[in-house]
Chains A and B, each alone.
Chain A
Amino acid sequence: MKPFNPLFSQRGASAVQVTVGIVVIAALFAFPQFVKSPYVLHMMILFFLSTLMGQSWNIIGGYTGQYSVGHAAYFGTGAYTTLILLSTKEIAPWYGMWLGIAASIILALIIGSICFRLRGPYFVLASIAVAEIVRLTALNLTSITKGAEGILVIDIPAFKIGETVITDFSSKVPYYYIALVLALVIIGVTWLVQHSKLGYYFQAIREDQDAAHSLGINLTIWKNSALVISAAFTSLAGSFYAIFVKFIDPSTVLPLDLSVQIVLISIIGGIGTIFGPVVGSLVLVPLSEALRSNVIAEGLINSGLVSETSGIGIFLKEHLAHAHVLIYGILVVVVILFMPEGVLGYFRKMTAKRKGGKA
């Protein structure tokens, strides 16, 4: 009989993996002590936020197999609830975000009760339709949401425990730590889901919902549970985004494009895996930011490939930034055609091939 060693449990991670994990997490916590550049911190925050969004979707889409293309609804609900409460009732975001989660859970249960009667493509279409209804409602209920004008807040109140001020949000650093903790929490939640009975129910539904049903798994309850977990964390991501950017309107926090981007984070990384959304964010965030901030256009010009004064140079400088979503389109087409299991799955397959020799 093997001696009991908690680090070498069969279902968990190996000692090496645990050590690497601890080192990475420690390094991420120490990161702002060494790197002061607000731009780098900004990128890291976007990376954590993207991980949070992708991983939240992964629970319903990747583990439970229900491809919701309407997650912007929960993101927007979190963002709007938090900022409306802050701007009109002066309720601090760390209370507002819980109300945002509550609102998103209620919304998820309503959406679930409608959409989970449908399957496959019909479910996808219904999830889009509901999210569009939410967006149009936010756009037209101008008395509450200010409609297309959007909501702008200037000051985020300082975060206090008792009388001690923890942070006043004057730099990017507090946002960095909040986003890091949120990303770690969602990875932890996904790990728990994968290794719990709940997760086995979810995966059984994904593999064959009729078989799962005949084995006594209540489809309605477990699909809705997966959606509620997913919606709660997506809403949290929305609340965080709202206080980080300090401005929201229906076209930034509720559009169909956002729902699609949330799905793509997981798809590109590898769905139904813990690190898929992390890898997806690692690929997408730098690429899309590089396009958005014109780094690529300037790089092409500086490297001498394209002359700055030539027609192409001027064109790229002016327009490439507006088309940063193009990269999502190209990546998803490449991934679906050539790496259907995502970037992570593709590299796993490659390493398995190399280890296994010719087989």
Chain B
Amino acid sequence: MTFSVLVQSIISGLLVGGVYALIGVGLTIIFGVMRVINFAHGDIMMVGMYMTYFLFTLFGVDPFMSVLITMPLMFVFGAIMQKVFINRILGTLPQNQILLTIGLGLIMSNAAMLAFTSDYKILTTSYSSSSFNVAGISISQPLLTSFLITCVITAGLYWFLMKTDTGQAIRATAQDREAAQLMGINVKWMSILSFGIGSAMAGTAGALISPTYYIFPQVGSAFTLKAFVITVLGGMGSIVGATLGGIIIGLVESVAAVTISSDWKDVVVFSIFLLVLLIKPSGLMGKSRM
């Protein structure tokens, strides 16, 4: 393995990591505000992927432009899901919350299978396989575009949470639900809002990877697991942590694929996950919530 191959894998890992970060950020916001681990996160992302696919094939909307449509639609989708299902089980046993979201995920993936069959769909754009060279390193154009969009969205979200009143209300709810309620914050509305934002992030991530990834009904579960690894690594509830976690996991996958083998890269990722759980379960940036 030459040096340039390693650099190449680091760059593509970094670019993919940006999208992973977006998935992780969505999961971590939901967990932060509601203490619910969303096992349907990858399936929500799958819905975003199909949405992008059909916007492209039926209406010719460019996958990256379709983010403007996918994001608000997925926000509404998540908000409704929270209002109808998740809201009813807040404060019950964590096991029941996990099982409910697992059930919702199964319904989404199997409904997608019913509607669109289990065939792999590929979204081919004019630039799907185009890339450009910088000093002998080739950079995939769709990956770079999605990375840049991810940066913009993450920065925007961070600004929203830090600078706006609503953002502060969400953070207050995440910090202490009861105290926030006593301060006059409508915590139920914040829960709906944060589940909506989490879903919008997952759906957007789905839109961004659809030009470079297969689209099929079961695509979600792999990404749900990846999202857990990312958020636990970064620290459950920490947005900066999830961003960092996403980039680290992207890098680890990509480098493990060239240094060990692409068959074993997920084993490396899960082993790191277990190590983090054992050594520092609070993650890189989080406080312990054990």
A294 to chain B: closest CB distance in Å?
Answer: 13
With A260-B106, A323-B113 as given contacts, are A336 and B96 in contact (CB-CB < 8 Å)?
Answer: yes
> Which residues of chain B are near A128, meaning CB under 8 Å?
225, 228
- Pairwise interchain contact B89-A121, C-beta atoms closer than 8 A: no
Complex Cα spacing A137 to B264, Å: 8
Using CB atoms, name the residue of chain A closest to B102: A260
A91 to chain B: closest CB distance in Å?
Answer: 29
Q: Map CB proximity to A onto B28-53 as digits: 1 under 8 Å, 0 otherwise.
A: 00000000010000000000000000
Complex Cα spacing A319 to B106, Å: 16
**Majority secondary structure of chain B interface residues (helix, strand, loop or mixed):** helix
Q: When the two chains form the complex, which single residue of A69, A114, A264, A333 contacts B107, counting CB atoms closer than 8 Å?
A: A333
- Pairwise interchain contact B99-A336, C-beta atoms closer than 8 A: yes
> Which residues of chain B are near A260, meaning CB under 8 Å?
102, 106
- Pairwise interchain contact B225-A263, C-beta atoms closer than 8 A: no
> Which residues of chain A are near B88, meaning CB under 8 Å?
337
Complex Cα spacing A260 to B109, Å: 14
- Pairwise interchain contact B110-A325, C-beta atoms closer than 8 A: yes
A286 to chain B: closest CB distance in Å?
Answer: 18
- Pairwise interchain contact A336-B106, C-beta atoms closer than 8 A: no
> Does B91 interact with chain A (Cβ within 8 Å)?
no
- Pairwise interchain contact A333-B94, C-beta atoms closer than 8 A: no
**Majority secondary structure of chain A interface residues (helix, strand, loop or mixed):** helix
Using CB atoms, name the residue of chain B closest to A125: B228
> Which residues of chain B are near A320, meaning CB under 8 Å?
114
Q: When the two chains form the complex, which single residue of A69, A140, A256, A336 contacts B264, counting CB atoms closer than 8 Å?
A: A140
Complex Cα spacing A128 to B270, Å: 9
- Pairwise interchain contact B266-A328, C-beta atoms closer than 8 A: no
Complex Cα spacing A267 to B99, Å: 9
Using CB atoms, name the residue of chain A closest to B274: A129
Q: When the two chains form the complex, which single residue of B221, B264, B290 contacts A122, counting CB atoms closer than 8 Å?
A: B290
A131 to chain B: closest CB distance in Å?
Answer: 10
- Pairwise interchain contact A130-B274, C-beta atoms closer than 8 A: yes
With A132-B266, A332-B103 as given contacts, are A114 and B278 in contact (CB-CB < 8 Å)?
Answer: yes
B149 to chain A: closest CB distance in Å?
Answer: 29
> Does B104 interact with chain A (Cβ within 8 Å)?
yes
- Pairwise interchain contact B103-A328, C-beta atoms closer than 8 A: yes
A326 to chain B: closest CB distance in Å?
Answer: 4
- Pairwise interchain contact B221-A256, C-beta atoms closer than 8 A: yes
- Pairwise interchain contact B105-A329, C-beta atoms closer than 8 A: yes
Interface range for B: 35 or more
- Pairwise interchain contact A132-B117, C-beta atoms closer than 8 A: no
> Does B20 interact with chain A (Cβ within 8 Å)?
no
- Pairwise interchain contact B113-A322, C-beta atoms closer than 8 A: yes
B182 to chain A: closest CB distance in Å?
Answer: 26
- Pairwise interchain contact A133-B270, C-beta atoms closer than 8 A: yes
Interface range for A: 35 or more
Q: Map CB proximity to B onto A112-123 as digits: 1 under 8 Å, 0 otherwise.
A: 001001111110
> Does B7 interact with chain A (Cβ within 8 Å)?
no
- Pairwise interchain contact A336-B100, C-beta atoms closer than 8 A: yes
- Pairwise interchain contact A67-B98, C-beta atoms closer than 8 A: yes
> Which residues of chain A are near B94, meaning CB under 8 Å?
120-121
Q: Map CB proximity to A onto B258-282 as digits: 1 under 8 Å, 0 otherwise.
A: 0000011011001101100110010
- Pairwise interchain contact A332-B102, C-beta atoms closer than 8 A: yes
Complex Cα spacing A331 to B102, Å: 11
- Pairwise interchain contact A319-B114, C-beta atoms closer than 8 A: yes
> Which residues of chain A are near B103, meaning CB under 8 Å?
328-333, 336
> Which residues of chain B are near A137, meaning CB under 8 Å?
267
With A323-B110, A329-B105, A333-B103 as given contacts, are A133 and B267 in contact (CB-CB < 8 Å)?
Answer: yes
- Pairwise interchain contact B277-A125, C-beta atoms closer than 8 A: yes
Complex Cα spacing A121 to B114, Å: 31
Using CB atoms, name the residue of chain A closest to B92: A340
Complex Cα spacing A319 to B263, Å: 31
- Pairwise interchain contact A326-B107, C-beta atoms closer than 8 A: yes
Complex Cα spacing A358 to B87, Å: 30
Complex Cα spacing A340 to B267, Å: 35
> Does B111 interact with chain A (Cβ within 8 Å)?
yes
- Pairwise interchain contact B95-A67, C-beta atoms closer than 8 A: yes
- Pairwise interchain contact A129-B278, C-beta atoms closer than 8 A: no
- Pairwise interchain contact A333-B85, C-beta atoms closer than 8 A: yes
> Which residues of chain B are near A108, meaning CB under 8 Å?
none
The 9 listed contacts between A and B (C-beta, < 8 Å) are A69-B98, A118-B281, A119-B290, A126-B277, A129-B225, A129-B229, A129-B273, A132-B270, A336-B96
Q: List 5 additional contacts besides A125-B228, A125-B273, A325-B106; criterion CB under 8 Å.
A: A121-B37, A125-B232, A126-B277, A136-B263, A326-B106
